[in-house]
Structure formats: C-alpha cells, structure tokens
Structure 1
C-alpha cells in the first residue's frame, strides 16, 4: 500500500520560545559589550585598559559586537547569504577573539620570563609586533579552514528527511552538521587549550598583570561547552541541535564579554 503526504519543512523559527529566549540573551550580550566598549573608550589612558591589552581590547570588543549581530542569521529559513554568515563571518570573528586572549596570555606570562631568560627573543617579539603577527597568522589559518569547509559542503541550503519522521524535512546550511562543526572549531579548541595553559603558568604573576583567573574562566567554559555540544550532537539531530548550538554560541560570547571584560570594567568603574 502506498500513499502520498505533504512534507513539512522544519527550521529554526522566530516565534518559538527557545529562539526568543536566545535572541534576548544575545541582545543582552550586545548591549553589555557595547557598554563595556564605551567604558574602555572613555578610560583608554588608564593603566587598567592598557594592562588589559590596549588596542587589542577594542578589536575584541568590536568583533564580539559583530558576532552578536550575526546571531539572528541562525533563525528563519536558511539562504545562501545567511549560510555564508554562519559558516564564515561568525567563525572568523570568534576565532580572532579567542586568538587575542591566547596571545594576550602568552604576552603577559612569557614576557616576564622571556625578558629575563631570553632577552633577545623578547626584543624581537616586541620590535616586530609579535602579538599582531601571531593573530594575523591565526586569522589566515582560520580563513583557510573556513574556505575548505565551504568548498566541501557548499553554501546552498540542503534538505534531508528526519530519520524519526519521514513527513518532516529538515532544512539546514550543511548536510553534515556535526562533522562540519568539529572541523570548523578544531582551531578554536586548540587555542582555548593553549590559552588555558599559559593562564595556568601565569597564576603566580603580580596582581596587576595576572589575568589568569579571567582567561581560565573564559577558556574553560568554551572548551567544556564545545565538548558538551559535540556529545549532544552525537545523540540528537534536527532543529534541536541548531537551537542548542546557537545557545552554546551565545553563552560562549557572554563568557568572553562578561567573564573576561566584565571584571576589568568593574575595576575601572569602582576602583579607578
């Protein structure tokens, strides 16, 4: 016996309660990051802002704002433009932020040791703008990863039948969401481990330069949430994976905005 039925296209819709909750969380993160950016701008010449990285902070905060603004492209029917933002713009913004934190942890921790043990290496690091060269290299490497991923999967939205319900067709930007996510975040996971390692090494530095607690918080949260997401994706699929991925994405952004920059902003405002 055969019968015909109308397939239902399923994607992350705006009117759903989880989507609204994540969107509100992203809006809160955007406003908080914008407020932190204003505070840092008004206190640019203070030792706290300079010790936090100076111009590097503004690069990170700007990229965080862009990343928050990209969150809405996860909602609604996938298109070529939204898939491009998901697979290229957001990963680049987030990776540069992670690389800034990693380079910053290296700069703070190793500067004290390199200056005394390897003065020539330290002078080269300072003279040739080591932090920015490192970030540029990481950015290029991430761009290569993103391009390879897009060439392998394409940018056009794809459809697949829900294995649990043949009447439902899932619309997504990637036919193999799990493997694509693992490939796209591999560099970020490596950077988070490296950043955590440098932060742990710097736990005994002077208080004014010791950002180990803030870096450890951000990197640990990112690594843990990413591993949890991959575990979740191994057991579930469909739109549920998309909303959980989006939630983890926003929480990771908040971990940097509030976990890394929040304490610095608090010190600037209440302990100038």
Structure 2
C-alpha cells in the first residue's frame, strides 16, 4: 500500500484547526495530524471528531500538547495530557500519539518517562511515537554559538529504549543530525515522519521540504526502499506566508514533493 501523506494542522497556523482540515481536503492530502493546543477546537475531542467526520478525512495522529506554548493545555500534569491524547485518538480512529521527550525541569516526569511510555502503549493499544528534539542554541559573546541540552533522558530518542519514534527533519537540522542515520537507528521502530526541512540554523525553521539542506528527498526514497509503513505528515511553518495564496502554494509544493519522492507522482 502507498504511504499516506498527511497534513499537520499546525502547518496552517495562525489559521484554525478547522482550516487545517479544509486545506487538507481541498489540496488532496490523505489524512490530518491534529496539534492539540493551537485553538479551542483542537482541545475538544468532540470538535475534532466532528471535523474529521464532516470533512471525510482520516486523522492519522494526535500530537500531544507538550510544546512550551501548550504547557497549560489540559492541565499541567504531563501524564494526564498523554492519557487525554489517547482518548482523542481512540475517539477519532487515530493510531498514533506524537510526544516530545520531557523538558529538563520536568524531573519526576523524565525519571519515569521511558517506562511510562511503555505502560501507556500497553494500556491504550496505541503507538506513542517519541519525537527527536534539538539543543537550544544562543549567540555567545565570542564567536559562534553555545547550546544547551533541554530534553531528558535524551533529545534523540532513536538512541533510547522506545518501541516507536517520530523523525522530525527540522529538529534534526538544528541538532546537526543525519536523518538517514537516525532512520537507520530507528529501523522498524520508526513509525512517523514530520516532513519539513531546515538549514542548520539555531531556529526551528520547519521549511517546505526541498528548500533546506537536509536531503528530505533522500529520506523519502530511503523510506520506500526500506519498506516503511508508517505515516508521513507535512509539518511546515506558513505563518509568514503573507497571504492565503502564498500559504496554498507552500502546502501544494510540500504535498507534491512528498508524492514525487515517495514514488506516488
């Protein structure tokens, strides 16, 4: 079967979650990943269910609210957020919950994170695909920049004891990581791709795939060659697009890129 190409609702921000569903259907994406916390609809199980049913499109994944700006979405207790994400996934037929490693200051959560993810997978029957993150970089007073590791137990979960993972190309760019090597470390545990791009900047660029330097085309070919049967989800930044037409062009270009290098063109 062909690999599905989905659209993350965060890709249309500052437009709404509902607009994300509109764009996905209108442009011919196969599925939607819901980023919980960008607006009220994204936090409501019933609203997401109605959006999926009303648009006639599958929800491939729920991205748990574990970003800095979603720290208070669904409360502040991290395990509760992951359990609530599972409720939404079951309600809309999604098979995957995307989750970031804990922040360094979430000490208790981090201490039990690996075993806790295993427990949630056993109890829910869902895939909790832990996503690679990146060092936080800041300009130093001298030459170059300094970086701080902000995620524990590790920012690169492909090196950890997880059953399933998400590979984000933009995050790999910041970390100076080779996406093919990361995919090979994951092996069959790799279940989810955030298709985007980057240039190695200190910023999390989330460029249209092909506009950066990460070899996103080579990654997609690698997935096909190795029999990847997970999900590919376009997760780009369009908030500076300037117009809806410019946003459309970016979303269309990303989908066309995915189709071409997955051999679906």
TM-score, normalised with respect to structure 1: 0.25
Q: Which has the higher contact order (CA 8 A, sep 6+)?
A: 1
TM-score by length of 2: 0.25
Structure with greater strand percent? 2
Larger CA Rg, structure 1 vs 2 = 1
Higher helix share: 1
